[in-house]
Amino acid sequence: MSDINTLLKQAAMQIGAGGSAGFVEVLIMQPLDLIKTRLQLQATNKNLPRTDPHYYTGIFDCVQKMYKHEGLSSFYKGILPPILAETPKRAVKFVCFEQYKKLGMTILGTSTATPLVFSLAGLGAGITEAIFVNPFEVVKVTLMANKARGKEVPSTWFVTRQIVREHGFGSRGLSKGLTATIARNGVFNMVYFGFYHSVKDIVPENKVPILDFLRKLCIGFVAGCLGSCVNIPFDVAKSRIQGPQPVKGEIKYRTTTGAMITVYREEGFRALYKGLVPKVMRLGPGGAIMLVVYEKVYHFLQTKFM
């Protein structure tokens, strides 16, 4: 009975620490996520002049035009879905990672976690997380694609009801782009957790608290950057599938592989990496913030309740 209570306490602490990490990360990094999505949604369009307020040549151009034409609040468009999703999403991510790690160690017959165990546990956690979070992603991308200003911007609830009313919960509704989300999150977390925990065990701890904090922060930053670079083509496909289609009434981007092939054929290889810079700018430090906050909160809860 005591073992069950201990497991339940550990799971509760992992959920609490993971939720706190996600909440802090999304508050700080949301504007970069929005810029990334805007750049990914912008397909090459010969009929759209460069002077158009919604034609973006890069990150800074996007920031200037959004601020000028949509106002300061536009940088937090679509923030409610990730706030509602990130707390349970990160809780799911971290608690699943810990459980998949234990399962992997049992299957492989090892008493210590290896880089392969960390990577496979990260992959499993990412897939589980993606299934949970995809409906929020559909609503978030729809809101981020909206270029209206101020009070004209529809609410999260309005957009959610509209998607359900028009397309339901299936592959054209709140489950749209699920495969792309699974690929994106699975690949990212496989690299992210695999790199962070493997390297953290190799690089020795520092007895000076601030230096050890910086050690973890740097490893987390690199892990987030690597994960972003590897999974960006799936992220582009996800944005295209979940975002507004180029021609109303026609579905151009249907499947993950099909969307990637279409983007490559029509816009070139570099288009598969659209939004990479703001993504790295977000998930590099964001990944570091998340892991460090998780470990700090988990350690605090462990000290308090265990």
pLDDT, tens digit, for every residue of 85-106?
777 778 888 889 999 999 999 9
Q: According to the model, what pLDDT value does residue 1 have?
A: 52
Instruction: For residue 148, give the CATH number of its domain.
Output: 1.50.40.10
Q: Choose between 89 and 131: higher pLDDT.
A: 131
Confidence of residue 290 (pLDDT cuts 50, 70, 90): confident
Which amino acid is it at 253? Answer: Y
pLDDT at residue 249 is higher than 50:
yes
Pull the structure tokens for residue 191. 């690299």
Sort 34 into a burial class: Cβ within 10 Å, 0-12 / 13-18 / 19+: buried
Rounded Cα distance between 134 and 142, Å, is 12
Least Cα distance to 138 among 227, 228, 244 occurs for: 244
Q: How far apart are CA 131 and CA 113, in angstroms?
A: 26
The half-sphere exposure of 278 on its side-chain side, counting CA atoms within 13 A, is 22
φ/ψ (deg, to 5) at 79: -80, -25
Instruction: Compute the mean pLDDT over every residue in the chain, rounded to the nearest whole number.
Output: 85
> How far is the C-alpha of 198 from the C-alpha of 217, rounded, in Å?
14
Tokens of 101: 């790690």
Task: State the residue for tokens 């620490």.
Answer: 17
Could you report the per-residue pLDDT of 26-78, keeping only the tens digit for each? 888 888 888 887 887 775 444 556 677 778 888 888 888 888 888 887 888 77
pLDDT(150) > 80: no
Q: How many domains does the chain have?
A: 1
Contact criterion met (CB below 8 Å) for 39 and 270? no
Domain encompassing residue 297: 2-305
Query: What pLDDT was estimated at residue 271?
Result: 92
Instruction: For residues 235 and 239, give the distance between their C-alpha atoms in angstroms, rounded to a whole number.
Output: 6
CA angle 127, 222, 139 (to 5 degrees): 40
- How far is residue 18's CA from residue 1's CA, in Å, rounded to a whole number? 26
Query: Please, what is the angle between helix 276-305 and helix 178-202, to 10°?
Result: 60
- Radius of gyration of the chain from Cα atoms? 20
4-7: list long-range contacts, CB under 8 Å, 24+ apart: 6/306
Report the distance separating Cα 166 and Cα 172, nearest Å: 9
3-state secondary structure 72-136: HHHHHCCCHHHHHHHHHHHHHHHHHHHHHHHHHHHHHCCCCCCHHHHHHHHHHHHHHHHHHHHHH
- Measured CA to CA, the distance from residue 239 to residue 272 in angstroms comes to 11
Cβ contact 279:36 at 8 Å: yes
